[in-house]
Amino acid sequence: MIEKLARMAMLYDFYGKLLTVKQQEIMELFYGDDLSLSEIAQEYGISRQAVYDLLKRTEKILEDYEAKLGLVAKFKEQQQRIACIGELTALAQQTANLNYLEKISEIIQELKDLERK
């Protein structure tokens, strides 16, 4: 469930602005403010089922954007490599060992290759 939350948060972060205002509102109430389906239903004066359907449809729209553009996946790969460079830099500083620099160069090259994909 946490994984689903994190994924939706990320998809919404990337593609949320492409949703309608209502879709954005429902996503923010459910995923951002942690409101239950019933609470959202009450707020909008619609049925719990209608909120559920709206939410599922919106999640699917976001997943469809990611299936087409793949920017979240690309971003995650980048993030991993940047974290890796961070760790190697810290290690190089702690040990005063320049050999880590070669590995850093390799990862930078990977990052540049990733950009061109």
Enumerate binding residues for its own copies (CB under 8 A).
Answer: 14-15, 17-18, 65, 68-69, 71, 75, 78-79, 82-83, 85-86, 89-90, 92-93, 96, 98, 101-102, 104-105, 108, 111-112, 115
Nearer of residues 50 and 71 to its own copies, judged by Cβ: 71
- Give Cα separations from 93 to 90, 97, 106 (angstroms): 5, 7, 18
Q: State the minimum distance, in angstroms, from the CB of residue 52 to its own copies.
A: 27
Q: State the minimum distance, in angstroms, from the CB of residue 40 to its own copies.
A: 24
Query: Most distant CA pair in the chain: distance in Å?
Result: 64
Cβ contacts of residue 47 below 8 Å, gap of 6+? 41
